Amino acid sequence: MNNEKRENSFRSNGWRTASYIYLAVMLVLLYSPVVIMIRFSFNDSRTNVVWQGFTTKYYDKLFHDANLWHIFFVTLFIAVMVTLIGTVVGTLGAVGFSKTRFPGSRLIEDFIYFPLVLPEIVLGIALLLLFNFNGIRLGIPTIIIGDTTLVLPYVFVTVKARLSGMDPSIEEASIDLGANRMYTFFHITLPAIMPGVISGAFMSFSLVLDELILTSFLADAATVTLPMKIYSMIKRGITPEINALTTIIFLVVTAGVVVYLVSSEMVERKQRRVEERRGEAAE
């Protein structure tokens, strides 16, 4: 009996050690490129291949590079617009499909998922032919339309998953108490699905911020986004200014995610305290 216990303990410890090693390897694979990028943003070398000393001069050059900042703000504008449109349309679509059923609704829902599995190059060619056939000039508006098509299913999936775990009796109780559909949506449904909405928005923003294939098909000669700029520099070598800019973007996004996680945890704790107080008062 003791031998069996020792064996089980040894196996459980072995699996625990293996899981820790696996987690460590995954973290190294995920974040070592980011660490290298941040390190080389301080590299005193224009070629950015060999470490030649620490410097911050490329951050100074970055803040004085008007062309690069223009490209970045164009990319940021596209990402923000696509995120807003995709989040609103995707959320309303998920809510609508979860509340109503009509002939062909299942087929339409399956078509919404289609861009998730469709190669981006196919989607890019299809949209390019569509715009050319209708005489629509390529530029920022066509990029926004194309990227919205790309991110819409992600928002739809995350919000629909949140809706599937929501108790429908809460909305029914609100309507029974005299609230209309609009009030119920903004005060009951939307707060309940907000984590899914925010997750979809974050996913949309990150997808559009580094989108290259679809943007390359839908941009005109005058429109350049940050991924297109970086890709065009690969043959000549990526300058430290690009590393500095991507480092700043990474730190800002990381700070935003941390703020979101901390605020979500605080809200959940507050809700738990309110529920505990209600339970104590009921007793």
Q: Which of 168, 173, 211, 218 is nearest to 193 (CA)?
A: 168
pTM summary value: 0.79
For the stretch 185-235, pLDDT in tens is 888 888 888 888 988 898 899 889 888 899 999 998 888 998 888 888 776
For the stretch 103-140, pLDDT in tens is 777 777 777 777 788 888 888 899 999 999 998 899 99
Give dist(CA 281, CA 283) in Å, integer. 5
Which residues, 6 or more positions from 196, have their beta carbon under 8 angstroms from its beta carbon?
158, 159, 161, 162, 163
CA 152 to chain centre: 12
Higher pLDDT, 28 or 98: 28
As a whole number, mean pLDDT of residues 7-33 equals: 78
Percent of the chain with pLDDT over 90: 18
Which residues, 6 or more positions from 226, have their beta carbon under 8 angstroms from its beta carbon?
71, 72, 75, 209, 210, 245
Give dist(CA 12, CA 16) in Å, integer. 6
CB 247 within 8 A of CB 36: no
